[in-house]
Structure formats: C-alpha cells, structure tokens
Structure 1
Amino acid sequence: MSERQVVGWSEDDGERSARWRSESGAKPPRHIRPADDRMPADAAYKLVCEGTALLWRGDFQGARQLLAALRRRVDRKSAKAGAGPRENFHLQRQAQSRRARLLGMLLVPLDSDAAHGYAVPLRRAPDVREACAEAYGPPESGEETSLVALRELLGLIGAHEWRRKGVPVPALGGDRVHPAYGVFSPVRGEYVDLVARTELPAGELAYDIGTGTGVLSAVLARRGVPRIVATDQDPRALACARANLDRLGASGRVTVVQADLFPAAADAGRASLIVCNPPWLPAKPTSPLEHAVYDPGSRMLRGFLDGLTDHLTADGEGWLILSDLAEHLQLRTREELLGWIGAAGLRVVGREDIRPRHPRAADPDDPLHAARAAEITSLWRLAAR
C-alpha cells in the first residue's frame, strides 16, 4: 500500500487538493494543470516534459488516446546504443525510467467511499471497483478523492484481468494460477518446467523460498512431496499463494509462512529439498513492483546460498533456478556465481538447462536482443560439501 500523501492544484479560481496514490512508488507531481479533450498532444507532451502533470477532466477514452499519443512521442527518443551489453542495459533502464516518469504525468481522478467502492468520475470510464480494491484494499469510511496516473490505473485493470482469468501452467496439467496485483506471474513457464522434470531427492520436507503465487509449491505437491513450507515476505504474495494452493487442492501439503528467505526453525526443520527462484538481475529496482525482477547486490541470491547448509538435511539438495541473462549483460560472471556457491560450503551435483520461449527472445528490435537470444535458464542442484 502507498503512504498517504496529498497534492494540490488550482482550478476554477480555487485551490483543490486530493490524495496521491501510486503503488509504483512515483513521487507526487509538484505542478498540476487541468486538461481535457481540447488539449493537443504536442502541447501535452511539452507540458509533461517541463514537469507539469495533467489532470484529465474530459472523456476517459480521450485520456487513453492522449496517453497513446504521448507514448509515441516519448518512444521517438529511444536510447542510444552503448559500447557493450552492460552499457546497453543501463541505457535501456534510463530510457524506461524516463518513459515511466513522463507517461505517469497524465492523471485521472479516483473517487472512493465504503458504500460504493472506487469510481473514475469521467465519461465512458470503466468499472474499476474490483481492480482498485485488489491493489489498494477496501475504501475507507467517508468519501475521498484521489489522483492516480492513468498508466498505473490501466495497469491495475490489466492485473485484475490476469487474476480473474489466471495463467495456464502446463506443469500443472493446464490448471491455472491466478497472480495477484504486484505478485510475479508465472507467464514465463521455463523455470516451472525445470522444477517439474528434475529428479526429486528422497525426503519428506521441502522449502519453497520466495513462493510468490505458490506455483512451485503446487508443482512439488503434485509430484508427491509430502510436506512443503512456502515462504515470502510480501503480504500480497502470501495471500495470493494461499488462495492458489487452496484452489489447486494443495493446501493440505503446503504451509505458507511469512519469512525473509528461510522459515524459522519452529515452523519447520531441516529439509531434503530447498527451492529458490530469486530475481535474476543484480540491479536496483526503481519501483516496488520491480523487486521480482531486480535483486540489488544479489542479496536474495547470496542469502539463499549462504543459508542452505544450515537448513538442508545431510543428503538434501538446494535447487537454485537462475537465468544467465545477467552474465550476457555483463552484470555478473559465471566465476562469481561459482565462487559464491563454493564460499557457502556447497558443491554442484547437477544442472538442468532450458531455453526461453517468450517472444522477446526472438525479437530483433529489442535493445537487449543479443543477450536474450543467448539466454539459458538453469536449475542448479546444490549439496553441502
């Protein structure tokens, strides 16, 4: 949930204020100007580049059209090619940050009250009650007006559709996993397939570290692991995992607990299998929603490796699921990874590899195409030395 912040602006010869909402962690704009369907796209682009946010008062579909026009203008200033993969990566991230900042300057009002829920008070606006409740929680008592970036609101609506429809998982026989807003979706299924096909070590207990939607716990339960403890530190992920595991009939085998990496000894014990799919890129997230992709300083990766020997049985295995994209982008070397494994008192007893199937791996227009085309996702089987 975003912290309560208030923004102000002038309109109709008076001063107005509203709550600022941003689940992406965007800072509230300093300057806000009302706008409607009469504003040309070039004028709007000039204003947002100068740091003025536009509060839309016209037709909702007109706001979407303006956002698309702004996106085309922002994308014309594409990132320049760098001297190598690492520089290309950082240039792309800078371009993405600028894009998010500028497109986030088109705002819409959001009304809420406990009796009627959330609503966008614009012509032809969609019903946003369920989407906003999933992201923001139920409205508080009393009426309140908020301002939210249209781009973020559309993201909330899209996430609600993902949650409603679910993502089919071949490793679960096509059963669907329903990702909650802000929880990493298993739409890239390679890492799930690795867990589904790798031979299981003998034992009664497994840990699923950073469970997210609970998809890997569900796969392990379907494969017959008697008891699984799934951990996460994000309340949204914990609720999402519990709901998915219950829906998939796996809640009887899986206990979901809140923890930063490993569960407390009182919640479990030593496990014969410990699975972790940490964020794959060692870079700093620029928003709370990026924590599933970026692992600053490889904190989660190294924390998992360093804690394995204290939580594994004598003949147990730790399964580290990791893409080598960071290596192709020159953000981490294979030698560094192997060094961390050895320093943690671990040895590699096997590895399963799989090629990515997502469309970006075959898109020559992607700025990181060369790295994505060479990418391999691996399940590293680790044991104590």
Structure 2
Amino acid sequence: MIHWVEDDQPRSARWRSESGNAAPKRVVIADDRMTADTAYRLACEGTGMLWRGDFQNARQLLQALARRAEPKTEKRGKPRQPPASPKDAFNLHRQAQSQRARTLGMLLLPFDADYSIPLRRAPDVQLACNEAYGQPSEPFVASLRELLGLIGAHEWRKKGVEIPALGDRIHPHYGVYSPVRGEYIGLVAQAPLPSTKLAFDIGTGTGVLAALLAKRGVARVIATDMDPRALTCARENLARLDADDKVTLMQTDLFPEGRAPLVICNPPWVPARPSSPIEHAVYDPESRMLRGFLGGLAAHLEPGGEGWLILSDLAEHLGLRSRAELIEAIDAGGLKVLEKIDIRPQHPKASDPSDPLHAARAAELTSLWRLAAR
C-alpha cells in the first residue's frame, strides 16, 4: 500500500510497480503549480509526488525532470576521468540508469478501478493496462514513467517487429523481450539444420525462433519458457503465423523431457543482476541460464544431434565473463564445438560514440555456436 495525507485526511491505495520498486515512504500532493526545480529536489530526496493536475502537464514535468537527471557536463579545464576498465564503465552505467529510474519514478498517478485516470486531459489507457496488469480490480497508484512504458509496449504490440526471415511480424507483449536484434534471427535462418524431425526451443520468449524453425520445415517444435507472459505472447504469435499446429508450448525451466536432434537456446547475454523483473530477458545473474543449458544439453540431444547456442560476446568485452569461462562451461557439459558462425550487430548503439559502452559495443560479435555431445 501507499499512504499520504490529502485535505488533512490520511489516504491510502494499492501500489503497483512492474519494476518491483517499493512505494515511496513519503508522498506529497502535486499539481500544475509545482515547478520543475521543486519536483526534482523532492524526487532526489525520495519523495513521491501524487499528481492532481493536468495529465499533459505531468508529462511535460517528467520531461523536465529527465533533463535535470542527465549527467552533468564537466567544467572547462576539468575533463571527465574515463572509467578504469570496461567493467567499471558498465557498473557506472547501470548505477546511473538505476538512479535515474528511481528519480523519474517519483511522479505518481492515481488510477480508478477500471484503469481510467481521474485527471484532466488524461488519455484512455485501459487497453494498455489490461495487457500488462490483467483484469482491473481496485484503485491504485503507479508512476507516470511506468505508465508511459506500458503505453510504449502497447504500441509495439500493435505495430509488431518486422522479421525478414519470417516474411512477417512478431508482436511482443509487455515484459517479453522484443526481437529487435535481428542479426541473431538471421543466424538461425541460415545455419544448416541437422534434422527436420524435432527441435526444442529453450526460453522461447515471443516464439520467434520456434516460428522460424517451423517455417524452415521442422515438423515439430517444443518451445519452453518459465514466464506465463512469454507463453501467452508466443501462443498469440504462433497462431497469427499459422505455426501453432507445429509448435507445442510448455511452462518449464529449461528442457522438456526427452531428446531431440536440435536444441536451440538464446539466453540473456549479460551476466549481471537485473534491477527489475522485466530485465530478466537481458540480464542473467551468474550466467545461470547459460550454464544450465550447457550443463543439461548433452542429456537432451539425440545421437548425432546439435545444440545451437546463440550468444553475444558483449559480456567478454565488458569484462563480465571471459571466453575461457565459456569454453570451460562447454567442456564441463561434455560438449564439443562443431562450428561458430559470427555476425556483427546492426543496432544503432553499435555505431554511437556517445554511448557509455561504445567501445564494447563496437567490438561485439553475435555468434551461433553449433555444439554436439562428445
């Protein structure tokens, strides 16, 4: 619950945060009269501001807070010291991201039980909230920043992501990793299939790789995921692509029972702690999923079968995991490398010198490791 005082009366409501943030301990009422400087000071102190003014003015205030939360430029004659290592650069970047998210998350909105927002000029966000939160049940308070994330995810879901290898679009749901890094899909589209009888897709997410395998002629695909949101998302995408008759979805951790001639996995690429539940598709603490896949792969391969590991080497360039550690995990799993197929990323950050992690991104390769049991 979140608590505040309004009109000299104690009030409370349910607190919602998909990012897992705790409710602010102190909350004040804010409206169109609040200046950006005052709001920024309160936000930095950890004070939540429950908005009672015009919705569009709240959006403008959030933009003003975002500008104030940008890193300050160094004074002339005092150049900024570069981080001592790529790992330090990554940790500082994550720390700055986390602090910025906390600060911007202090501008709060009231929601009625039907997901309507009782503010002037508030948009209709009921569909976006339904997609992320499920059926409405009671009034609550959430941050404006989170709402804008929900709206953005809703637009992505409507528009979809063009997948040239499929000749169609994938529509990601809120909290499910969007396949915007198309180079890894291209690797799967071109690698030689060891069999078209059966494949396991471990951690299917949106279902994009399961759909691609079905399109390539694999007769049966068993696609697994732990996240109910991902399974719902994959089910809708596979039905839209007319691939649901070839793909069976299963909620399980890593492998289904049995063996297959092809087992494919695209685990989170960065071994770091996620700062929110929806970051689990990007960050894999201590490489848990990667090590689980490599440790159990041999036992789930048919004789002569292949395991396809799709992995970026960004973690290596950031100093978070060495190539030696990866090779050691492959060897410990009783596996051997048949081939490694590489491709360079095409996303904008790979060529953006202003990105804090530009050096690592510029050197990054995405690889499909073709593995087999020894």
Q: Does 1:352 align with 2:341?
A: yes
- Measure the CA separation in 2 of the matches of 1:72 and 1:205: 52
Q: Which residue of 2 aligns with 1:108?
A: 109
Percent identity of equivalent pairs: 67
SS of structure 1 residue aligned to 2:244: coil
- Measure the CA separation in 1 of the matches of 2:136 and 2:81: 44
CA contact (8 A) 1:34 1:55 kept: yes
- Measure the CA separation in 2 of the matches of 1:77 and 1:191: 36
CA contact (8 A) 1:218 1:245 kept: yes
Cα shift readout 1:188-222 (whole Å, capped 9, x = no counterpart): 11111110010100251100000000000000000
Q: Which residue of 1 aligns with 2:190?
A: 197
**Unmatched 5+ stretches in structure 2:** 74-79
AA partner of residue 334 (structure 1): R
Pairing partner for 1:298 from 278, 283, 287:
287
Q: Which residue of 2 aligns with 1:9?
A: 4
AA partner of residue 268 (structure 2): P
Q: Does 1:255 align with 2:248?
A: yes
Cα shift readout 1:125-152 (whole Å, capped 9, x = no counterpart): 1110110011110112xxx321100000
Q: Which residue of 2 aligns with 1:134?
A: 131
Q: Count the aligned residue pairs.
A: 368
Following superposition, the deviation at residue 165 of structure 1 comes to 1.2
Q: Which residue of 2 aligns with 1:172?
A: 166
- Measure the CA separation in 2 of the matches of 1:347 and 1:373: 29
Q: Which residue of 2 aligns with 1:3?
A: none
Q: Does 1:223 align with 2:220?
A: no
**Unmatched 5+ stretches in structure 1:** 1-5
* TM-score of the aligned structures, taking structure 2 as reference length: 0.97
CA contact (8 A) 1:80 1:91 kept: no
AA partner of residue 90 (structure 2): F
Matches within 5 A, 1:330-369: 330-369=319-358
CA contact (8 A) 2:196 2:217 kept: no
SS of structure 2 residue aligned to 1:10: strand
CA contact (8 A) 1:7 1:18 kept: yes
CA contact (8 A) 1:326 1:332 kept: yes
Q: Which residue of 2 aligns with 1:145?
A: 139
Following superposition, the deviation at residue 124 of structure 1 comes to 1.0
Matches within 5 A, 1:71-82: 71-77=66-72, 81-82=82-83
Name the CA shift for 1:211/1:120 in 2 (closer, same or farther; >3 Å): same
- Measure the CA separation in 1 of the matches of 2:10 and 2:320: 49
- Measure the CA separation in 1 of the matches of 2:43 and 2:279: 24
Q: Does 1:383 align with 2:372?
A: yes
Structure 1 range deviating more: 195-204 or 54-63: 195-204
AA partner of residue 69 (structure 1): A
- Measure the CA separation in 1 of the matches of 2:299 and 2:129: 42
Following superposition, the deviation at residue 351 of structure 1 comes to 1.2
Following superposition, the deviation at residue 51 of structure 1 comes to 1.5
Pairing partner for 2:236 from 243, 249, 257:
243
Q: Which residue of 1 aligns with 2:55?
A: 60
Over the aligned positions, Cα root-mean-square deviation in angstroms equals 1.1
* TM-score of the aligned structures, taking structure 1 as reference length: 0.94
Q: Which residue of 2 aligns with 1:155?
A: 149
AA partner of residue 158 (structure 1): G
Cα shift readout 1:61-83 (whole Å, capped 9, x = no counterpart): 10011101101111134897310
CA contact (8 A) 1:191 1:377 kept: yes
